[in-house]
Amino acid sequence: MIAEDGMKRSFLFQLIGIITLICLTLSLGGTSPVSAEYIDPLASAANSANADLPRQIELTFAGMGMTSPQTLAGPLSEYALRFNLPAGWSPTGLAVINLELSAFFSSIVPTEGTEPISGLTGGDLSVFLNGTLVAVKTLQQSGDQTIQLEFDSSLLTLPARGSSNELRVRWDGSVSCRMNLLSSVTIMPSSTLDFSYAESSRPLSLNHFPVPFIIENSLQPVSLKLILPASPSGSELRAALIVAAGIGQLSGGAAAFEMVSLEDFKRTSAEKQNVILVATSEKLKTPELRALGLPAELQAGQAEGIVHLFQHSTGEYGVFVSGDEAGIIKAAQVVSANQVISAGEAVTMIVSAVNPAVSSTNQENMTLQDLGVGEMVFTHPDGLVQSVDFFIPAGEQARPDSTFDLVISHSQQLDYLRSGLQVKLNGFPAVSLRLNDNTANQILFRLILPSNLIHAGRNTVELIAGLNTRDICTPPVESVAWLRVSASSLLHIPLERAVAGSPVSKVLGDFPDALMSGSGLDNVTFVLATSDFGNLQAAGKLANQLGAALPQSEPLRLHAVWYDMVDPALTAESNVILVGKPLDFKTLAEKGQFPALVFNQENTLSDESALAMVTKPAAGADVGYLAIRGFDIQTDRVLLAVLGNSPAGIRYAVDAVSNPEVSASNFVVVVGEGVQAGWLDQGISTGKVVLPAAQATEAPAASDAVQQFKQGMLVWVIPVVAALLALMILLVYIEVRQQIRKE
């Protein structure tokens, strides 16, 4: 028994030893290759090279801007997509378009079953890229299908000033039309464009500006940062707001940007970001600017501006707007108007002078050529809708005798019953022109423009042509179906002073048009409190909206000052925008601003405010306030206050300025993103303190002279009347006794 136990114990020890040996062997075998791994430098270089190899990308039509399926009806119709590639992409090889579509061909013979109709010649589907025909496919089968088209990716253009890629799909169903068949093709948003590209830092110059900072319809937008010192000087403040307004002007308000201080700006590998840096040349040698990759030898003469394009080691781009106190303003004006051009050294521009352009906004007679439009040609391939903008200064209004002398000519192959030209003014139909053979050869139409549809600020005249040939199966291409509007067409807009009563009431819906009574925003002054950088960020958003509303690109001349450095002569004759905390503006409650507003030490509304309603926020809550007012009819000045008890409150207020929900209000309280209450307040509108009705009825009775006289009479009239009555009774009594004695 003892021997058996010994054998069992010996066998158990041997088994444990074998398992331990196997584990040690596997452990050494698994760790040995890792600890002795050899990294081949050639392999490392190959991996690095793989990063530069072309990458494949698939873009859907939905991602390129097609929000819903587009139906192209026969005999001829088309649809276009416009897009831009990122600045760092270089397309290579073949590109492929996968068109997902649904075709429909009507047939006299009814279909049997659910099989799609085939064997018919429905028409031709053509695809153009930047005006070049990529492919033509003849469709003979109805139903859902996918068509694959290949082309050289070199047809894709890189971003450039004022250009973009245009992908146009055209359906020509004239063949089926002649067979008395109806046809249509529906293009699906799930269609794709596939191509390869290599990421490269292509050399750019200032002549490409505003690319890469502003790229219209970019497939991969790069964030834009507007950087300036945390405590900017007066010139840096004004230059930064001019650049912010210029971003709005150049992009039509479509380009987003963020204003950050130089001290807070940090590059991240996770996000690409281009920068526009605004700082005077004396700060060029600071470590913060040198870290961005700026050369220290940039120099300009006295009162000259510098615009310098640079590239960071990460591949992102930056533009440096600088100069001395006078020169930096000139550099900002050149950038804001897209007048950046460089000769010789392609990355640096010296600005010696900026002369204000002659504006056509105040002219009574303006041709299409004066408005920068020129000849308008309407054809099916090039589009049937075109527009022209004109501008009315604030404080002015169009007279009833405003006209548009429209000079047109057109093809005589049009079906006049199904063709014409419609004119819209600010979205409202104004007139529709009937065409005939007599109007084909250069004829003048004088159109009366309804003056009540013309408002201050930007106005748009939209021309919509309907062009159809007599033979409905003949494609209305540019050779047979066209209409031309001459550049000599004259817009006659006589102006007069706008009389709207005294004082002139303003609401937030009047922003920004009501502030554009001058040229290039020269009569707009921002007054900022100096307490927080958030005030500057808020002012940048407002300036961007002002720039987006301008009728054309021109050098901007808006003013911006800190409150403690404000010049009364400057603000007395201009539109003023206040940005900051209420108590930072000592004159806010004065008669010339908003005397109805009274704020407590927490920068929230006080109970003493003479408003229709005063609300008390919760302790520590972020609250923003908006107030706007006009003055009398002798001036077109506007005062806008963007206030808040905190940086977040000011941000709430700025975001609510353009909210349609408050467009009819002149005072708004904002307590969160999209959470606001506004009304039309009489005290804000008139600039007078209007007491609430409850207080008006508590006037003391002694202040009424008539009532006081009546009360005084009661003191002596009643005793006198009583005495006279007693005397009369006494006299009657004496008279009666005398009569009795005589008898």
Is it the case that residue 4 has pLDDT exceeding 70? no
Q: What is the mean pLDDT of residues 273-299?
A: 84
Residue 570 lies in a domain: yes
CA angle at 552 for the pair 549 and 553, rounded to the nearest 5°: 105
* 519 shares a domain with 485: no
Q: What is the mean pLDDT of residues 301-329?
A: 90
Is it the case that residue 36 has pLDDT exceeding 50? no
Note the residue count of the chain: 743
* 243 shares a domain with 182: no
Percent of the chain with pLDDT over 70: 83
Is pTM beyond 0.75? Reply is yes
User: Could you tell me the pLDDT band of residue 723, with boundaries at 50, 70 and 90?
Assistant: confident
pLDDT digits (tens, 9 = 90+) for 519-560: 789 889 999 998 689 999 999 999 999 999 886 678 899 999
Q: What is the mean pLDDT of residues 73-88?
A: 87
Q: Would you state the pLDDT for residue 707?
A: 59
**Six-digit token string for 54:** 């072309």
Is it the case that residue 98 has pLDDT exceeding 90? yes
Q: What is the mean pLDDT of residues 668-680?
A: 88
DSSP letter (8 states) at residue 396: E
**CB within 8 A of 115, min separation 6: which ones?**
none
Q: Which SS3 state, helix, strand or coil, does residue 223 take?
A: strand
CATH of the domain at 122: 2.60.120.260
* 676 shares a domain with 530: yes
Is it the case that residue 21 has pLDDT exceeding 80? no
* 444 shares a domain with 295: no
**Rounded CA gap, 668 and 704, in Å?**
38
Residue 13 lies in a domain: no
* Burial environment of residue 703 by CB neighbours within 10 A (0 to 12, 13 to 18, 19 or more): exposed
Residue 696 lies in a domain: no
Is it the case that residue 202 has pLDDT exceeding 90? no
String of DSSP letters for 339-394: ----SSSTTEEEE---PPP--STT-SEEETTTTT---EEEBTTTBSEEEEEEEE-T
Domain ends where: 308, 329, 351? 351
Is it the case that residue 711 has pLDDT exceeding 70? no
Q: Tell me which of 252-266, 284-298, 470-484, 541-555 is least confident.
A: 284-298
Is it the case that residue 614 has pLDDT exceeding 70? yes
* 479 shares a domain with 347: no
Is it the case that residue 99 has pLDDT exceeding 70? yes
Q: Tell me which of 241-255, 343-357, 451-465, 530-544 is least confident.
A: 343-357
* 669 shares a domain with 533: yes
Q: Would you state the pLDDT for residue 342?
A: 81
Range of the domain at 338: 206-351
* 216 shares a domain with 168: no
* 213 shares a domain with 89: no
Is it the case that residue 24 has pLDDT exceeding 60? no
Is it the case that residue 715 has pLDDT exceeding 90? no
Is it the case that residue 399 has pLDDT exceeding 70? yes
**CB within 8 A of 577, min separation 6: which ones?**
515, 524, 525, 526, 527, 539, 542, 640, 641, 642
Domain ends where: 351, 380, 396? 351
**Rounded CA gap, 687 and 672, in Å?**
27
* 135 shares a domain with 236: no
**Rounded CA gap, 660 and 60, in Å?**
33
| Average pLDDT over all residues of the chain | 82
Strands 258-261, 132-141: pairing is unpaired
Is it the case that residue 68 has pLDDT exceeding 80? yes
Q: Which SS3 state, helix, strand or coil, does residue 548 take?
A: helix
Return the HEC string of 549-586.
CCCCCCCCCCEEEEHHHCCHHHHCCCEEEEEECHHHCC
pLDDT digits (tens, 9 = 90+) for 130-153: 989 999 999 988 899 999 999 999
User: Could you tell me the pLDDT band of residue 439, with boundaries at 50, 70 and 90?
Assistant: very high
Is it the case that residue 696 has pLDDT exceeding 60? no
Is it the case that residue 108 has pLDDT exceeding 70? no
* 559 shares a domain with 530: yes
Query: Which residue type sits at 697?
Result: T
Is it the case that residue 356 has pLDDT exceeding 50? yes
Q: Would you state the pLDDT for residue 684?
A: 86
Q: Would you state the pLDDT for residue 548?
A: 92
User: Could you tell me the pLDDT band of residue 514, with boundaries at 50, 70 and 90?
Assistant: confident
Name the helix (H) or strand (E) containing 148: strand 143-152
User: Could you tell me the pLDDT band of residue 713, with boundaries at 50, 70 and 90?
Assistant: low
Angle in degrees, 0-180, between the axes of helices 234-251 and 327-336, rounded to the nearest 10: 10
Residue 500 lies in a domain: no
User: Could you tell me the pLDDT band of residue 447, with boundaries at 50, 70 and 90?
Assistant: very high
Residue 165 lies in a domain: yes
Domain ends where: 199, 233, 250? 199
Is it the case that residue 701 has pLDDT exceeding 70? no
Residue 33 lies in a domain: no
**Rounded CA gap, 577 and 581, in Å?**
13
Inter-residue contact 243 to 560 (CB < 8 Å): no
**Rounded CA gap, 563 and 567, in Å?**
9
Q: Would you state the pLDDT for residue 704?
A: 53
Inter-residue contact 276 to 340 (CB < 8 Å): no
User: Could you tell me the pLDDT band of residue 15, with boundaries at 50, 70 and 90?
Assistant: very low
For the chain, the domain total comes to: 5
Residue 25 lies in a domain: no
* Burial environment of residue 604 by CB neighbours within 10 A (0 to 12, 13 to 18, 19 or more): buried
Is it the case that residue 450 has pLDDT exceeding 50? yes
**Rounded CA gap, 260 and 520, in Å?**
25
Strands 165-172, 183-187: pairing is unpaired
Is it the case that residue 497 has pLDDT exceeding 90? no
Residue 646 lies in a domain: yes
CATH of the domain at 300: 3.30.379.10
* 220 shares a domain with 145: no
Q: Would you state the pLDDT for residue 676?
A: 85
Is it the case that residue 100 has pLDDT exceeding 50? yes
* 322 shares a domain with 174: no
- As a whole number of Å, the end-to-end CA separation of the chain is 177
Q: Which SS3 state, helix, strand or coil, does residue 627 take?
A: strand
Is it the case that residue 40 has pLDDT exceeding 70? no
